[in-house]
Amino acid sequence: MIECNNEKINRSSPVEYLDKLVDDVCATYEDSKGINHLQGFDIPCQQEVLEVIEELLEIVFPGFKGVRTYDMNTIRYSVGEMLSCLHKKLSRLIFKALHYNCKMENCKDCEVSELTANATRTLLEAIPRIREVMKKDIHAAYDGDPAAFSLDEIVVSYPGVKAITIQRFAHVLYHHKVPLIPRMMTEYAHSETGIDIHPGAHLDKGVFIDHGTGVVIGETATLGDNVKIYQGVTLGALSFPKDACGQIIKGARRHPTIESDVTIYSGATVLGNITIGKGSIIGGNVWLTESVAPGSKITIPTPELRIKTPKQ
Amino acid sequence: MIECNNEKINRSSPVEYLDKLVDDVCATYEDSKGINHLQGFDIPCQQEVLEVIEELLEIVFPGFKGVRTYDMNTIRYSVGEMLSCLHKKLSRLIFKALHYNCKMENCKDCEVSELTANATRTLLEAIPRIREVMKKDIHAAYDGDPAAFSLDEIVVSYPGVKAITIQRFAHVLYHHKVPLIPRMMTEYAHSETGIDIHPGAHLDKGVFIDHGTGVVIGETATLGDNVKIYQGVTLGALSFPKDACGQIIKGARRHPTIESDVTIYSGATVLGNITIGKGSIIGGNVWLTESVAPGSKITIPTPELRIKTPKQ
Amino acid sequence: MIECNNEKINRSSPVEYLDKLVDDVCATYEDSKGINHLQGFDIPCQQEVLEVIEELLEIVFPGFKGVRTYDMNTIRYSVGEMLSCLHKKLSRLIFKALHYNCKMENCKDCEVSELTANATRTLLEAIPRIREVMKKDIHAAYDGDPAAFSLDEIVVSYPGVKAITIQRFAHVLYHHKVPLIPRMMTEYAHSETGIDIHPGAHLDKGVFIDHGTGVVIGETATLGDNVKIYQGVTLGALSFPKDACGQIIKGARRHPTIESDVTIYSGATVLGNITIGKGSIIGGNVWLTESVAPGSKITIPTPELRIKTPKQ
Amino acid sequence: MIECNNEKINRSSPVEYLDKLVDDVCATYEDSKGINHLQGFDIPCQQEVLEVIEELLEIVFPGFKGVRTYDMNTIRYSVGEMLSCLHKKLSRLIFKALHYNCKMENCKDCEVSELTANATRTLLEAIPRIREVMKKDIHAAYDGDPAAFSLDEIVVSYPGVKAITIQRFAHVLYHHKVPLIPRMMTEYAHSETGIDIHPGAHLDKGVFIDHGTGVVIGETATLGDNVKIYQGVTLGALSFPKDACGQIIKGARRHPTIESDVTIYSGATVLGNITIGKGSIIGGNVWLTESVAPGSKITIPTPELRIKTPKQ
Amino acid sequence: MIECNNEKINRSSPVEYLDKLVDDVCATYEDSKGINHLQGFDIPCQQEVLEVIEELLEIVFPGFKGVRTYDMNTIRYSVGEMLSCLHKKLSRLIFKALHYNCKMENCKDCEVSELTANATRTLLEAIPRIREVMKKDIHAAYDGDPAAFSLDEIVVSYPGVKAITIQRFAHVLYHHKVPLIPRMMTEYAHSETGIDIHPGAHLDKGVFIDHGTGVVIGETATLGDNVKIYQGVTLGALSFPKDACGQIIKGARRHPTIESDVTIYSGATVLGNITIGKGSIIGGNVWLTESVAPGSKITIPTPELRIKTPKQ
Amino acid sequence: MIECNNEKINRSSPVEYLDKLVDDVCATYEDSKGINHLQGFDIPCQQEVLEVIEELLEIVFPGFKGVRTYDMNTIRYSVGEMLSCLHKKLSRLIFKALHYNCKMENCKDCEVSELTANATRTLLEAIPRIREVMKKDIHAAYDGDPAAFSLDEIVVSYPGVKAITIQRFAHVLYHHKVPLIPRMMTEYAHSETGIDIHPGAHLDKGVFIDHGTGVVIGETATLGDNVKIYQGVTLGALSFPKDACGQIIKGARRHPTIESDVTIYSGATVLGNITIGKGSIIGGNVWLTESVAPGSKITIPTPELRIKTPKQ
């Protein structure tokens, strides 16, 4: 029965309305800058960014994904090949992004090649440092979570590790003012982990984000060593600085500074250009918009819960 | 060593218990309506729904995914081909879903072909309108977020854009009472972005959801123009209307109406069939179950945080 | 223009710094136990775990993914083939994980083969029981959600179903003390659904998690029958028991016991080794660190919201 | 330089001539029966035929391709699953081909379902017999070729084995008058091996074709047991029987009968409806158009080669 | 056992000789022009050529491969899209090939863009004509082969059709002096069919090559209408014209002209710049190096076969 | 209509005969050594062999396939990585083949590891030499074929180059008595090119095979420098030496020795353990079973063709 009808469907000509619809859709392509990408110049595409991320993760955590095996005897060849490959892909991607910017701003892209070379090199040269920092992050996770049984377990199953690693690379490109790519990188991490760290945020070593879903860390936030953050924490902006014309000023400092050894429990919201002093503990669900001194312990007063217990 | 043992494993016959296990599993297939899909009629499958979504996104944001390139000279051919293809896939998918419904309700599917044709056509014809609306959404995001540097950046890296676009298409099918598919579409968006908008929700233009993780917007919610929503916001039901027999009434109105120009900050919970008046601002973490007048500004009183600062 | 520059880029030798960088990266591989996986022994890899999960889901919900079709007449062959295949893959994977443990602890892996056989068999033999339990979960979802129109809809589009099914299998391996794999399984579910249930948590039948983004359920938590949980709920630890040396004691009991028929609304936080009595209702955003009697209803007092309504 | 020009190319509008070309191509589609396949009814496609062949080969030579492994303990599940799958694919494919025939001949396809079921079943039920026959073929190859070191070597590396196996299956469908598919099967074998055996040819057991490139065996040829054939041998037609109108009679008997134990050396051409008697040997390059008695040995007289040897 | 040894293998360091081997291999890359392709400029690669061929075949025989379906209502979109796509791919490929030539000959590639545009356009505009010619070829095959039961069967299973179609397209590029690509196209056809037609050969309409394995048709050969050729036929050169220095003159005329309605049976060899007159029949295995008049019938005298028949 | 019937087909239970068929097929698996590969030990599989071949070709002709690009600056990393990878794959493959042999011959595979290491190393170390030899082959092709316009053209489009390169590697393994793999390698080349060179044949440098379809070169054949061979040439055995029991002696010398600078034209057949003296020319279709002195020129006398020319 179904298939008979199915045949009828296929037979029913779509043409009555299709031609008009094609015209209508094409008409919306005419002038809609910002949601077309039809002609003229390229932008970095998601697939390319994803590949670069996967290769960076493979170099930082070699062998964990399980798609390649390595041998200490021949590791230099493997690493050399991966880096050569990354060098090519990154150069192409960063060039596209910088060139895109020039087109957007109608400038001549006279320095794009040099800027591309610099950004690519800086990113690649950051790998050894980021590996060292990630070791500290992973030890921090191991020390801080009673559910963690080994360092390897943390690498293969803690979303925070993935999100932070990607952000650390995105941050390098952010400093080189490479457009689009850093944000695409962190959004990929966000999509995979529920942890949304802006590429602009500065994270010191030993950062541990547990569970992580719903964590938001804003563009101008700064995190010191050994900061520990739980799910649902927001490090956000209280208000957006505006210029004389009432336009939001892009990129202005508006997020918290979290000093070393601070712990922020789940659901806490910390807003504005404030400072949480070294070693402070911010309790769950706390809503904080002012700086606190080092060593502070902030909690919300347990509200008088309304508890109705049935008569027995 | 390992491999020797490994060989032993492979040699150890699985058959001792396998035959019985096969029987046991098959026995559970006998009558478990609702978690089997073994015979008789098809349902739309995830892979097909995913393909349709990807193609709809490609038409709305042509060129951004980076898997295809277009040329203004030949764009009509590309669009025509994509729409012909979508027409076929959507017809097949919607037919399956409607036919499935008939089987479930033991009705004759005499009108399924016509309903399929209507739903398919309406969905496709909605594309130009949804493109125009999305332009407004993207400008809203640009204007509202100091971290956004270009419209393109928003398209490629803002999860809210993806979630809302998909929901707008799912909403069209929801209105045509196509079962299963709309929910599969929004759940895909939920899985990718952490933003869970029910296909039944009505969204006007210029909606901006920032970060978005944990946002839940219920089936009968309504959002006016230029509504701005942050991560962790719930627009939910306070209680579920029940019929005389105590059964929950499916689909009854139970979610908020958010009028135009409202902003709802992170973690706020707005519940029930209430109205948030035009231009209101709902502060972070607010828990709201009653209507508020236009232009209201609602915040929770900053609780007296308990702050222990160490002696210095 | 762009391409000319592009050529320049490709020509610009990467070698000036590449050789040194290769050395630097390889140097970081020398001793960094925990974030390398270069030589000596295998660990279970993500791709393998993912395949096992997909095949388990296919057996529990046959036909829903839409990649295979079945026929009641030949279902025994299909199931037998899938189980044989799973037996092989699981044996290999579990063996790797157990053997890995032996290497980590420098013990002889004399019992690994036997332990592998046991864990594999127990997992496979759990399939019929888990199918029966999932039926109850799905009916619970149907009964509890006014937006759910059919059991099939729940299977294909409710993230909670996916997260719970995967956790139930991970839980079996957790009890057999298989390292790494259980956590990789639940983290996959977390990544897909935003629902983070530790493999150690015990879930009875009829559990329903709605929307689910941000839900965290800790290692030693216990959920009775028909528990209902909404997005953003945390069942966490209040503090971590430490040993005499101040080291966190791994695995110690520290999470809540949720008795049957309890409902916990969105954003509630329930912490510590406490008990929520049968049939209790925990309101949205409640922060609870003490046990409550059966039948309790806990809500936060509606705060006096500060509402500024514009003069009219 | 190259890329600049490349850009120019992409910029050069293809549209000047593309629209006209689209019209011209579409115009050729209007009425060209036989080289279009645009609408109305399906024909079996190459990809589907290829899949069926691969699965038949997998059942006949299990494990050789190396893509699947089997276990004697669970082999029934594997075989059952493969046969169920083949049953479905073959039914669909054969139905398409038979239905296509009906359309071509404007008959009602009233018996297509039954014919499909018969052909499918006969083909599947031929598998055990064909396996037994192939064992004899492989032993024949082993005994006849000094370069063959094991039976396995013959299975994995002798093109004749592949070509003959496929032809044996195609022959079953040929007898059921299934159109298109048998020829597509043998042409696939031809393309892989250079051996072109028409599906209509009848091959007894123990046939060995060595090297095989250029071998052509016609539709009505018959080969007895233990026939041995070398590269470049043609068993063809001398002339084509025509009907009263001078039209070639399709399918008429016109190829040789090769009795048992005959050997035909490379490059020999045997033409017409003749008989090569049992045990005969046909020498290389022989051109034969008349029957020969059993036990004959036919060679071309070594021609007086013209040999110019340089003076020394 | 095996796996233990296997482990030993993996452990045995490859490094003792690997480093030297890497050096040795790289040393051979230094100066070996012609078998390296390491740097500097691109050549068309096999994968790209293959894609272009597949797309050309899809346009000429739409729907036969079975990977796409078409609908007469929307065929213009499908064709337009395929042609736009082909235009891009061909332009890129031809540009590469022409640019490669310039580099090889150290000329400036000033006209490459224009030559590319011309060659691409000519190739695409040849499609309607080649379709018409192929119709004639296919009818010729149908009329000439008693084993052919339908036109469709010829399209899907006659290797000659594939080889000739591809050669007809390669011939267009050959005339535009595009290097490398034409030969790669016909070699692909050769590999698939055993039929080796040089791109330079000129084929009129209604050409039929049956079976085809081993057919070789040289660069300067010409075939009239309705020429029929069987397997193993060579239309080759007798000797190669040399210049004053004894160097072979590339491209000089040296192959036969076959006039219309000629049939050449299997294994015949026709060599040199000679003419086979209209309607002639060249018998199997004939070796011919001189022109023959129209209407000739050439056969080799049946040699007195030496036949030993056993006594009875 | 079609689909209705199709549904009937799917509904028609395959089970009536399927269970019996499964039994019948499995029964044929019981004892059929040589055409099963169900349990116990592995053999090298086609897919693995193919991968190894592709990687060897990539190293010998780097960059030609177009799937990878190289850079002279980083070529050592690329080569090192490819060789490390090849080392692993080859070791595994050769080990399997040698171990298979031990099982077949019921010997202990005590030396398999060492033999594997030797064969692998010899094969890899042959790469630079084979590259040098292939350069000579390619120059020979260029000098000998007026249709060849560049060295690159020969690499990308001459089947002889592919067949000979693969055979040269297979020959190395043949000398190490590795079973199965060498033959699988040359059969792959045969399938792609129609050129069937046994791995045992010895080829000196500068060998050129033109067109090549149907060329067969036997196990014990030897070719000197600069031998030129055309399509359809057989270098075969005249008869097979047998032992006292009448069994064919495997591997005995039985094929021709072709000295340097010999040319053999298309279709010639050279049989037996004979020697073709240096610089000889063997004409097309010659059938030769006796040695000829250096510098000989052998042709068949042009037969008196029977030519019927129509009266005019």
Strands A297-299 and B306-308: antiparallel
D229 pLDDT above the threshold of 60:
yes
Structure confidence at residue F7 (pLDDT): 43
Contacts of A74 in chain F (CB under 8 A): 80-81, 84
Helix pair A46-60, A159-175: axis angle to 10 deg? 110
Structure confidence at residue A303 (pLDDT): 64
Closest listed residue to residue F120, CA positions, set F86, F97, F96, F164: F86
Q: CA A78 to CA C39: how far, in whole Å?
A: 13
Do residue F84 and residue A78 have CB atoms under 8 angstroms apart?
yes
Residue type, D18: L
Calculate mean pLDDT across residues F4-20.
58
- CA-based angle D146:D148:D151, to the nearest 5? 135
Query: C161 vs E2, which has greater pLDDT?
Result: C161
**All CATH 2.160.10.10 domain ranges in chain D, comma separated:** 214-300
- Give the Cβ contact number of residue B244 at 10 Å: 5
Structure confidence at residue D100 (pLDDT): 86
Do residue B84 and residue E77 have CB atoms under 8 angstroms apart?
yes
- Give SS3 for F194: coil
Structure confidence at residue C139 (pLDDT): 92
Rounded to a whole number, what is the distance in angstroms from the first to the last CA of chain E? 60
CB A180 within 8 A of CB B157: yes
Please report which confidence band the pLDDT of residue F3 belongs to, taking 50, 70 and 90 as the band edges: very low
Strands F297-299 and D306-308: antiparallel
Mean pLDDT of chain B: 88
Q: CA A264 to CA A267: how far, in whole Å?
A: 9
Q: Give which of A74, A75, A88 to mutate to test E binding, by max E Cβ within 10 Å.
A: A74
Show Cβ contacts of residue A43 under 8 Å, excluding neighbours closer than 6 positions.
A37, A96, A97, A100, A180, B64, B66, B152, B156
- CA-based angle D298:D302:D306, to the nearest 5? 160
CB B68 within 8 A of CB B58: yes
pLDDT tens digits, residue range D5-50?
344 444 445 667 889 999 999 988 887 666 777 654 578 888 899 9
Closest listed residue to residue C175, CA positions, set C126, C208, C228: C126
**All CATH 1.10.3130.10 domain ranges in chain F, comma separated:** 41-195
Q: Which CATH number fits domain A214-300: 3.40.630.30, 2.160.10.10, 3.30.365.10, 2.40.50.140?
A: 2.160.10.10
Do residue C128 and residue B27 have CB atoms under 8 angstroms apart?
yes
Closest chain F C-alpha to C71 CA, distance in angstroms: 9
Contacts of E218 in chain F (CB under 8 A): 147
Task: Spell out which chain C residues touch chain D, with contact meaning CB-CB distance below 8 angstroms.
Answer: 1-4, 6-7, 69, 71, 74, 76-78, 80-81, 83-84, 88
Do residue E35 and residue F148 have CB atoms under 8 angstroms apart?
no
Contacts of F253 in chain D (CB under 8 A): none
Q: CA E96 to CA E181: how far, in whole Å?
A: 10
Structure confidence at residue C311 (pLDDT): 64
Residue type, B22: V
Structure confidence at residue E8 (pLDDT): 42
> How crowded is the C-beta side of A88, counted as CA atoms within 13 Å?
14
Report the chain B residue with the minimal C-alpha distance to residue C144. Answer: B248
Q: Give which of B9, B32, B192, B270 to mutate to test C binding, by max C Cβ within 10 Å.
A: B9
**B207 burial class (0-12, 13-18, 19+ CB within 10 angstroms)?**
buried
Closest listed residue to residue F56, CA positions, set F83, F84, F80, F78: F83
Contacts of B11 in chain E (CB under 8 A): none
Give the least confident one: B194-208, E72-86, F55-69, F240-254: F240-254
* D/F interface, count of CB pairs below 8 Å: 230
Give the least confident one: B94-98, C279-283, D66-70: D66-70
| Residue from the list A1, A7, A84 with its beta carbon closest to the beta carbon of F78 | A84
- Give the Cβ contact number of residue D1 at 10 Å: 16
- Give the Cβ contact number of residue C40 at 10 Å: 8
Q: CA F148 to CA F157: how far, in whole Å?
A: 10
Show Cβ contacts of residue D160 under 8 Å, excluding neighbours closer than 6 positions.
D137, D141, D193, D195, D207, D208, D209, D210, D212
Contacts of E74 in chain A (CB under 8 A): 14-15, 18
Do residue C18 and residue F71 have CB atoms under 8 angstroms apart?
no
* Residue keyed to tokens 């025994």: C76
Helix pair E159-175, D181-193: axis angle to 10 deg? 60
Closest chain D C-alpha to C60 CA, distance in angstroms: 18
Q: Beta partners for B236?
A: B271
E231 pLDDT above the threshold of 60:
yes
pLDDT tens digits, residue range C134-176?
999 999 899 888 888 888 899 999 999 999 999 999 999 999 9
Closest chain C C-alpha to F96 CA, distance in angstroms: 20
pTM of the model as a whole = 0.91
Contacts of C109 in chain B (CB under 8 A): 1-2, 5
| φ, ψ for residue C197, nearest 5 deg | -105, 120
> How crowded is the C-beta side of B228, counted as CA atoms within 13 Å?
18
Contacts of E139 in chain D (CB under 8 A): 34
Calculate mean pLDDT across residues E79-104.
91
Give the least confident one: B97-101, B160-164, E277-281, F222-226: B97-101
Query: F143 vs A38, which has greater pLDDT?
Result: F143
Closest listed residue to residue C13, CA positions, set E40, E23, A173, F71: F71
Ranges of residues in chain C whose predicted pLDDT is under 50: 1-12, 40
Q: Beta partners for E299?
A: F306
Structure confidence at residue F302 (pLDDT): 66
Q: How far is CA E284 from the centre of its chain?
A: 23
Calculate mean pLDDT across residues A156-185.
96
Residue D140, CA distances (Å) to C69, D145, D185 in order: 41, 9, 24
Q: CA C12 to CA A121: how far, in whole Å?
A: 12
Closest chain E C-alpha to A62 CA, distance in angstroms: 18
Q: CA D260 to CA D267: how far, in whole Å?
A: 20
Q: Which CATH number fits domain E41-195: 3.80.30.20, 3.40.470.10, 1.10.3130.10, 2.40.30.10?
A: 1.10.3130.10
Structure confidence at residue B109 (pLDDT): 64
Do residue E77 and residue B81 have CB atoms under 8 angstroms apart?
yes
Contacts of F42 in chain E (CB under 8 A): 2
CB-based burial, E181-220: b 16+ in 10 Å, e otherwise? bbbbbbbbbbbbbbbbbbbbbbbbbbbbbbbbbbbbbbbb
Closest listed residue to residue C69, CA positions, set B20, B181, F10, F9: F10
Please report which confidence band the pLDDT of residue B135 belongs to, taking 50, 70 and 90 as the band edges: very high
Report ipTM (2 d.p.): 0.90
